[in-house]
Amino acid sequence: VWAALWALRIRIDMASQLNIRNTIFEMDSLVVVHMVNSGSTPNAFLQPLLQEVISLLYHPEWRTSVSCVSQG
């Protein structure tokens, strides 16, 4: 879960650097998608990274979303 959340953070940074403001971030980790969309995690270790991802993701001038892609 930590690796998927960190990968999302890197992807958000890349989109920001490329000035891509309308983005759907697709992931295969339903757990991370739920964490980002709910804004919380029961794991205190992940909370700082989750909050950083959320603050980057919900920039006032961007239209972004995070969704889970089906694996089957």
pLDDT digits (tens, 9 = 90+) for 7-63: 999 999 999 999 999 999 999 999 999 999 999 999 999 999 999 999 999 888 899
pLDDT at 56: 92
pLDDT at 59: 85
How much is the pTM? Answer: 0.89
pLDDT at 63: 94
Alpha helices by DSSP H, 18-67 = 30-38, 47-57
Residues with Cβ within 8 Å of 54's Cβ and at least 6 positions away in sequence, in order, are 36, 39
Confidence label for 67 from pLDDT (cuts 50, 70 and 90)? very high
